[in-house]
Chain A
């Protein structure tokens, strides 16, 4: 089965510019996550979707970050405007959560490495 796909793999922008990342989860996975991983740290959850609804966006800096998951499949994460401290790897993950069932494994994509100059 194909894994989680993300694009682009690398992005370099200047501060105050905008950037968008795309994620295609594993087919059939209802839950999709966006994480931010700063160098030397563990992934930090930004937002979690179940199908096309938001489950948790408590750690998403909503003044500059936005995310959507139209039709409950692909998702995009946008930063506008970017700051220097947004330099990080942005990881997308998905998990199989059927109604009434709980699967604890999350499958991660390769990530997008963002550098803000």
Chain B
């Protein structure tokens, strides 16, 4: 079977750093993506890791360990606008770019 696990909720204060973990068990794996979704909005792409290690994009970084079937999204210098749901998604299709999404982590940033 295929499964992804993320914490359901995380709370942090403005300016802080937060880490959202994702563990996965899938029959195929080409990479791990992260998407952000504001309430009532469309998911938007944040990052993709195909290889082990850390990828940094501005305030957001994403990490992957293929041997541990584990990844995380790191958000630094939190802002109120970062309050949203964050989904990890396993790419199990390779060239066909098929994703299976986790259940999402609701991040609440408090003043």
Which A residues are within 8 Å of any B CB, using their own CB? 4, 31, 40-45, 48, 50, 55-56, 91, 93, 95, 97, 102-111
Contact = CB atoms under 8 A, between A and B. Distances in A.
Nearest to A105: B45
Interface residues of B, number: 25
Contacts of B60: none
A31 B98 CA distance: 11
B31 A104 contact: yes
Interface string B36-55: 00000111110010100000
6 contacts: A41-B103, A45-B100, A50-B96, A91-B43, A102-B95, A104-B97
Task: From A42, A50, A97, name the one whose CB has the most chain B CB atoms within 10 angstroms.
Answer: A42
A31 B97 contact: yes
Contacts of B62: none
Contacts of A106: 43, 45, 97, 99
B41 A110 contact: yes
Question: Ordered nearest first, which 8 A-B pairs have the shortest CB separation?
Answer: A42-B101, A108-B42, A105-B45, A104-B48, A108-B43, A42-B87, A43-B101, A102-B95
B88 to A, nearest CB: 9
A45 B45 contact: no
B83 interface: no
A108 B102 CA distance: 17
Interface in B83-111: 87, 89, 91, 93-104
Nearest to B33: A104
B97 A91 contact: no
Given A48-B98, A103-B97, A109 B89 contact: no
B38 to A, nearest CB: 11
A48, A50, A105, A109: residue with the most chain B Cβ atoms closer than 10 Å:
A105
A48 B91 CA distance: 14
A11 B87 CA distance: 26
B99 to A, nearest CB: 7
A91 B42 contact: yes
